[in-house]
Amino acid sequence: MKKTLIFFAIILMLWSCKNGSVSFYVNDSSNSTIEGQLPINLPFNLPIIPISSTNTTEYENNQTVPDLLEEVNLEDLSISITNPANDDFSFLKAIEISILFSDQDDNEDGVLIATLDNINSADKIIHLTPTGANLIPYLKTDSYKLKTKATVNEILLYDVDIKIDLRFKITAKLL
pLDDT in tens, 139-156: 999 999 999 999 988 888
Q: Which of 52, 54, 50, 49 is nearest to 26 (CA)?
A: 54
Find, among 120, 146, 121, 114, the residue nearest to 50 by Cα. 146
| Residue pair 146/164 in contact by the 8 Å Cβ criterion | yes
Q: Cis (ω within 30 of 0) for the bond into 66?
A: no
Query: How far is residue 60's CA from residue 170's CA, in Å, rounded to a whole number?
Result: 13
pLDDT for 2: 60
pLDDT of residue 19: 61
Give, in order, the Cα–Cα distances in Å from 77 to each of 6, 37, 127, 156. 47, 26, 6, 24
Contact 139, 66 (CB under 8 A): yes
**Per-residue pLDDT tens digits for 88-99:** 999 999 999 999
Low-confidence residues of the chain: pLDDT under 50 = 9, 12-16
The predicted structure's pLDDT at residue 16:
47
Q: What pLDDT, on a 0 to 100 scale, did the predictor assign at position 122? A: 87
Cα separation, 98 vs 14, in Å, equals: 41
Domains of the chain plus CATH, in order, are 22-173 (2.60.120)
Give just the sign of the alpha carbon dihedral 16, 18, 21, 24: positive
Instruction: Decide: 2 and 154 in contact? Cβ < 8 Å.
Output: no
